[in-house]
């Protein structure tokens, strides 16, 4: 059995199929981990969502920010700048089934046997694995329950910008969502910067890639994440970014995580958006 973690697909269904063919993927024996952002901005979000859902227990997915955009749109709270690539899902005859499946996905997956943790974006420096799992569960419980519409209507925003144990209500849930699905840079106190989307070195003084905070509580974990399409030339222990900018003309990446060391396999992509990150 092979286990592959795959970066942000974002509706690039044809590229996903080409990558799986290159991997000789066998759904009966192999497993796929998806780092979130299954949909949006690429041309075939509906086909992508149906395919990954259809993999059943052969696939593990965590939620990304674009997946949450889809949920928000489905519950009547679309982003004003949405590019309509989600319309095919929202108009599909199996829309309700797809949305129900999506809202039950986790924000974090940890496999103790393989020794890897999967998130879409990152972890703030104050969270160890136990804290991260608890925070993920808090949001997941709301997304799977009757409070989902209220959460989705209030989740957008950049505040609060720093974790505190006594955060509560929507401020707590918004901060948790922002860390798991939007985080790139923070300072040594854990204050988040959401304005900078470029490669390391483009951020304001005093901010660093979240994984470079040397005393972060998650430094003992091997963390796989997507989201950061402009991350290049990374070389940091136990950190595995796998969003290789397929949407922007880069590649769709698979990381074989049952191999030691893990092996990267890239499928070149023609790109479906103007380069520039998101």
Peptide bond preceding 146: is omega within 30 degrees of 0, i.e. cis?
Answer: no
The Cα angle at residue 245 between residues 241 and 246, in degrees rounded to 5: 120
Residue 153 has pLDDT above 60, yes or no: yes
d(CA 177, CA 122): 10
Determine the topology of domain 3-268 in CATH. Answer: Purple Acid Phosphatase; chain A, domain 2 (3.60.21)
Q: Which residues pair with 268 in a beta bridge?
A: 251
Beta bridge partners of 256: 4, 263
% of residues, the chain, pLDDT over 90:
89
Rounded-to-integer distance, Cα 57 and Cα 219, Å: 29
pLDDT value of position 142: 98
Task: State how far the alpha carbon of 226 is from the alpha carbons of 2, 44, 91, in Å.
Answer: 20, 19, 28
Using pLDDT thresholds of 50, 70 and 90, give the confidence band for residue 217. Answer: very high
- Is the pLDDT confidence value at 140 over 70? yes
Cα 12 versus chain centre, distance: 15
Mean pLDDT confidence for 223-241: 89
Q: Which two tokens stand for residue 95?
A: 């829309």
Distance of alpha carbon 274 from alpha carbon 240, whole angstroms: 25
State the average pLDDT over residues 5-16: 97
The CA distances from residue 152 to 65, 82, 105, 210, 262, in Å, are 12, 15, 15, 25, 36
Residue-level pLDDT at 67: 98
Asked whether the predicted pLDDT for residue 223 surpasses 90, the reply is yes
pLDDT of residue 261 exceeding 60, the answer is yes
pLDDT at 270: 86
Q: What is the pLDDT of residue 278?
A: 37
Question: Residue 272 pLDDT > 80, yes or no?
Answer: no
% of the chain with per-residue pLDDT over 70: 96
Q: What is the mean pLDDT of the chain?
A: 94
Domain residue limits, the chain:
3-268
Name the strand (E) or helix (H) holding 102.
helix 95-102
Report the pLDDT averaged over residues 114-139. Answer: 98
| Radius of gyration for the alpha carbons in the chain, expressed in angstroms and rounded | 17
**Would you state the pLDDT for residue 63?**
98
Count other Cβ atoms within 10 Å, centred on residue 75.
16
pLDDT of residue 80: 65
Contacts of 235 (CB under 8 A, 6+ apart): none
pLDDT at 82: 55
192 neighbors 160 (Cβ within 8 angstroms): no
What pTM value is reported for the model?
Answer: 0.95
Q: What is the pLDDT of residue 81?
A: 60
Q: What is the mean pLDDT of residues 46-72?
A: 97
Indicate whether 168 pLDDT > 90: yes
For the segment 212-226, the average pLDDT, to the nearest whole number, is 97
Question: CA–CA separation, 103 vs 164, rounded Å?
Answer: 26
**What pLDDT, on the 0 to 100 scale, is given for residue 271?**
73
């Amino acid at each position: 059995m092979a286990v592959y973690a795959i970066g942000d697909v974002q509706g690039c269904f044809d590229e996903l199929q080409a990558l799986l063919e290159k991997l000789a993927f066998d759904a009966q024996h192999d497993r796929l981990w998806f780092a979130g952002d299954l949909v949006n901005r690429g041309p075939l979000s509906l086909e992508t969502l149906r395919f990954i859902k259809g993999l059943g227990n052969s696939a593990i997915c965590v939620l990304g920010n674009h997946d949450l955009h889809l949920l928000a749109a489905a519950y009547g709270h679309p982003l004003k700048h949405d590019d309509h690539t989600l319309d095919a899902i929202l108009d599909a005859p199996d829309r309700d089934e797809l949305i129900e499946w999506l809202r039950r996905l986790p924000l974090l997956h940890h496999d103790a046997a393989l020794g890897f943790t999967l998130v879409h974006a990152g972890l703030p420096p104050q969270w160890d694995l136990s804290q991260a799992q608890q925070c993920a569960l808090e949001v997941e419980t709301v997304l799977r329950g009757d409070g989902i519409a209220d959460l989705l209507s209030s989740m957008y925003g950049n505040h609060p910008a720093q974790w505190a144990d006594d955060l509560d209500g929507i401020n707590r849930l918004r901060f948790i969502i922002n860390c798991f699905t939007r985080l790139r840079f923070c300072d040594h106190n854990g204050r988040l910067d959401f304005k900078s989307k470029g490669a390391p070195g483009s951020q304001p003084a005093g901010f660093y890639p979240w994984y470079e905070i040397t005393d972060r509580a998650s430094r003992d974990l091997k963390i796989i994440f997507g989201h950061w399409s402009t991350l290049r030339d990374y070389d940091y222990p136990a950190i595995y970014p796998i969003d290789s900018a397929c949407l922007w003309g880069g590649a769709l990446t698979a990381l074989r995580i049952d191999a030691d060391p893990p092996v990267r396999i890239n499928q070149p992509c023609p790109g479906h958006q103007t380069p520039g990150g998101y």
